[in-house]
Amino acid sequence: MGEGEQEQKVDGVHYTQKTYTFKKIKDKEILLDVYSVDNGSIEPASKQPAVLFFHYGYVITGDRYAFPKWLLMAALRRGWTFISADHRCLPESTGHDAIEDCVDAYFFVVKDLSSGDSAIDPNRIIIAGSSGGGYCAVACSQRLVEKDASIEELSLKDRGTEIAIPRPVAVLAIYPMIDLLSPWWTTMNHEENTLSQKELDQVRGQIDQDIKNGHISLGERFAEKDEDLIYQSRWPVLQYVLQTFTYADYLSGIKGLSQKIALNSSVDWQQYKDMKARTVPESAQKLFPIDFDNMSSKFPPLFIVHGTGDRDVPIEDSKALVNRCGELTVPVRHWWLPGLEHCFDLEYDDLESSIGEKDLQVGPAGLRELIVTLDNFVCAKD
């Protein structure tokens, strides 16, 4: 259901922004925003790709407004539709819930947004995300192409008629969180201890109460200034989860899982792999994309970018995903950008309006190459 429309113009690009409710949970509406250029009446042969984006924020905070502006502008300049969706967030909900919402957002795009005279080609939907949203993009795509799921199983019934659900044409992962059972996420103190023990106890108590009461969080819009982040309501929740190394606990909904993994983190690779299989219940294994043989050769072609100086999400996460895709012969293009840190790209508004000296630096140059490569690949699928 559309809930509003705004017309905007940026650097000569005219576009509209519409908000839709794509599902409801306990009377809480989960929304997505659709940004599109005005192409008039669209013939089926001229339909264009779309980007379905999941926001950054560790799957704990952020919302559908947390997306890189350069990616929005790159899509609009090509006549593509850009879609940014909310989803349920940790720790009140689990990774199962977040991924379910992401899959439902994809279904909504295919079933509702690409019908009729829409500009969206349902066969050329790119699933994308940054950081925690990169995890959502990979996990959602994996769910859509599970090795034991046929295309017939990925269908929706609408008034008695089955609607086939095309698989994503590509996945764009921007410094994604992926290897969430690695020592980085279960044992390593890579965050400053910003919360005191008293504050940790208070936040844990509030989290436990919210989970018990069935509270649902859809994240929180980021403050405009970085220095104001610490005053936001989701900030202590995020810091608690990172500071206590309990990410896997809240992702899976299994208390103590991170600690069990951490206690055996010093063994060799094969023993570590076997230990994870013994420790993580089968019901939670699908939450960890590169573990437990979850991925298959049907995974969409992957386009991935990560800065080598990232101190928040290690580049090793992305490299592990690339290696796993390589083992399965999934097509991959990757960009490892020297020295760049987490969220390096958020300062870029538009990479293609004009090219100045700053735009020749590692970040903008690498992202422009990524855009052109992705564009060529997706357009070849027309």
Summarised one tens digit per residue, pLDDT across range 205-252 is 999 999 999 999 999 999 999 899 999 999 999 999 999 999 999 999
Closest Cα to residue 26, out of 84, 81, 78, 92? 92
Q: Mean of the pLDDT values across residues 319-334?
A: 98
What confidence score (pLDDT) does residue 270 get? 84
CA distance 237 to 233: 8
Question: Residue 129: beta bridge partners?
Answer: 54, 173
Summarised one tens digit per residue, pLDDT across range 221-230 is 999 998 999 9
| Rg (the chain; Cα; Å) | 20
What confidence score (pLDDT) does residue 292 get? 95
3-state secondary structure of 115: coil
CA dihedral 192, 193, 195, 196 (to 10 degrees): -150
Taking CA 222 as the corner, what is the angle to CA 216 and CA 228, rounded to the nearest 5 degrees? 120
Per-residue confidence band for 197, with pLDDT thresholds at 50, 70 and 90? very high
Q: Are 153 and 73 in contact (CB under 8 A)?
A: no
Percent of the chain scored above 70 by pLDDT? 88
Longest dimension (CA), the chain: 61
Q: Are 121 and 52 in contact (CB under 8 A)?
A: no
Spans of all domains in the chain: 2-180+288-377, 183-285
Arithmetic mean of pLDDT over the chain: 90
Strand order in the sheet with 13-25: 2-10, 13-25, 28-37, 81-85, 48-54, 120-130, 170-174, 302-307, 332-337
- Tokens matching residue 332: 């991959």
Residue 229 has a CB neighbour count (10 Å cut-off) of 15
What confidence score (pLDDT) does residue 155 get? 52
Summarised one tens digit per residue, pLDDT across range 39-88 is 654 555 589 999 999 999 999 999 999 999 999 999 999 999 999 999 99
Per-residue confidence band for 156, with pLDDT thresholds at 50, 70 and 90? low
At the topology level, CATH places domain 2-180+288-377 in: Rossmann fold (3.40.50)
Per-residue confidence band for 194, with pLDDT thresholds at 50, 70 and 90? confident
Summarised one tens digit per residue, pLDDT across range 111-135 is 999 987 788 999 999 999 999 999 9
What confidence score (pLDDT) does residue 191 get? 61
What confidence score (pLDDT) does residue 8 get? 78
What confidence score (pLDDT) does residue 115 get? 82
What confidence score (pLDDT) does residue 13 get? 82
What confidence score (pLDDT) does residue 359 get? 62
What confidence score (pLDDT) does residue 268 get? 78
Contacts of 365 (CB under 8 A, 6+ apart): 359
Q: Mean of the pLDDT values across residues 290-314?
A: 96
- Tokens matching residue 300: 């969409």
Is residue 148 predicted with pLDDT exceeding 70? no
